[in-house]
Amino acid sequence: MNTLFGATTVTAHGHGLTSQRARDRLVATLRAEGIKDARVLDVIRTLPRHLFIDEALAARAYENTALPIGLDQTISQPWVVARMTELLLEPGVPQRVLEIGTGSGYQAAVLSELVGTVYTVERIEELLRKARRLFRSMKIENIRSRHDDGNIGWRDEAPFDAIVLTAAGESVPRALFEQLAEGGVLVAPLGPPGTQRLTRFRRAGDDWQREEFEGVSFVPLLGGLG
């Protein structure tokens, strides 16, 4: 865990649309839209989301909306990041978390403040390189990342206490279930485009408890490398 962002990147007198005031407003919106976990809201309040998107869009960084990050991909909507993180933490704080779909790196950075170590896999090398640069410049030291097809997980680092998919498929790739520790939790947007739902699985031996939550809209989980 680290707590560096707030102190190093938010000035007491910040103004404009990337200011602390804009972040506070975003947190108020998330709370009004049902996010309850104070730990998650605190991270979103301090983490500079504008660094994860193009400068041209920075003024919109604290709107509750997904934004393009190039290569046909998006940084997820803050509400979605908050909700997935909340669903992941609810059963207990996981030590080792696998994320499929690094994208901008924002979800991984949010998790890095709350869990032990984040392992994140991205199929598009250019996005991964950018995210890595950002993690370094923000001095985040508990994120490991890998350029690979996330459908096969990260075998050498398994098992994970929690797995989060930030791209949507009709079902969860088998390898990911296999890499989840006993008692572990997996959160994913599942279903065909237009009817995806946040879905949470909990592993109990060979049994999987499945719960469905809100409807969402994610980019697709693709196969192979980008």
- Stretches 7-15, 83-91, 119-127, 193-201: which one binds ligand SAH (CB under 6 A)? 119-127
101 contacts: CB under 8 Å, gap ≥ 6: 120, 121, 122, 150, 165, 166, 167, 221
Stretch 61-100: interaction string toward ligand SAH, x if CB under 6 A: ------------xxxx-----------------------x
Rank residues 73 and 196 by Cβ distance to ligand SAH and give the closer one: 73
Q: Which region, left, alpha or beta, applies to residue 71 given φ > 0 means left and ψ of -120 to 50 means alpha?
A: left
**76, 104, 112, 145: which is the annotated catalytic residue?**
76
Active-site annotation holds for 112: no
Q: How many Cβ atoms from other residues are within 10 Å of residue 19's Cβ? A: 16
- Does 150 sit near ligand SAH (CB under 6 A)? yes
58 contacts 155 by C-beta, under 8 angstroms:
no
Among 37, 122, 135, 163, binds ligand SAH (CB under 6 A): 122
How far is Cα 142 from Cα 81, in angstroms, rounded to an integer? 19
Rank residues 21 and 103 by Cβ distance to ligand SAH and give the closer one: 103
Q: What does the block give as tokens for 28?
A: 């108020």
How far is Cα 121 from Cα 137, in angstroms, rounded to an integer? 19
Among 94, 103, 189, 191, binds ligand SAH (CB under 6 A): 103
Among 127, 140, 180, 187, binds ligand SAH (CB under 6 A): 127
Q: How many helices (H) and strands (E) does the chain have?
A: 7, 9
E strands, 4-159, are 67-70, 73-75, 96-100, 117-122, 143-147
- Does 145 sit near ligand SAH (CB under 6 A)? no
- Does 191 sit near ligand SAH (CB under 6 A)? no
Among 48, 78, 94, 101, binds ligand SAH (CB under 6 A): 101
What are the residues binding ligand SAH (CB under 6 A)? 73-76, 100-101, 103-104, 106-107, 121-124, 127, 149-151, 166-167, 219, 221-223, 226
